[in-house]
Amino acid sequence: MTLQTHITVLEAAPGRCEELGGYLRDLLEPTRRLDGCLAFELQRDRQRWQLHSRWRSSTDLERYFAQPLLQEVINSAWKSGAIQHLKSRAA
């Protein structure tokens, strides 16, 4: 197994940064409890939020992406207009 690191950068719509952060904070504790999660951190840089995660394996990372809570949070933030731009990549 190979450790997997992933970064998601979400740019908030103007005036919506705190709202977006509220959505993303809902992911922290449930994600940290997932099997294979080694680290899951949320950081803010002006109008951007970054989710940094480390996983024991690619299977664990794929399981994270399939989590209903992740899908709900991102979909809700998109639909509300809080997210202006999202970029996701392996690190």
The confidence band for 1, taking pLDDT boundaries of 50, 70 and 90, is low
Neighbours of 3 (CB within 10 A): 13
Q: What is the pLDDT of residues 22-45, one digit of tens each?
A: 999 999 999 999 999 999 999 999
For residue 67, report the phi and psi dihedrals to the nearest 5 degrees.
-65, 130
Map out the domains of the chain as residue ranges. Answer: 4-90
- What is the model's pLDDT at position 91? 86
Q: What is the pLDDT of residues 58-73, one digit of tens each?
A: 999 999 999 999 999 9
CA distances from 54 to 13, 57, 84 (A): 27, 9, 25
H/E segment holding residue 24: helix 17-32
| Position 83 pLDDT exceeds 70 | yes
What are 8's two structure tokens?
């998601």
The model carries a pTM of 0.92
Q: Which CATH number fits domain 4-90: 3.30.70.100, 3.40.640.10, 2.40.50.140, 2.60.40.2250?
A: 3.30.70.100
Of the chain, the end-to-end C-alpha distance in Å amounts to 16
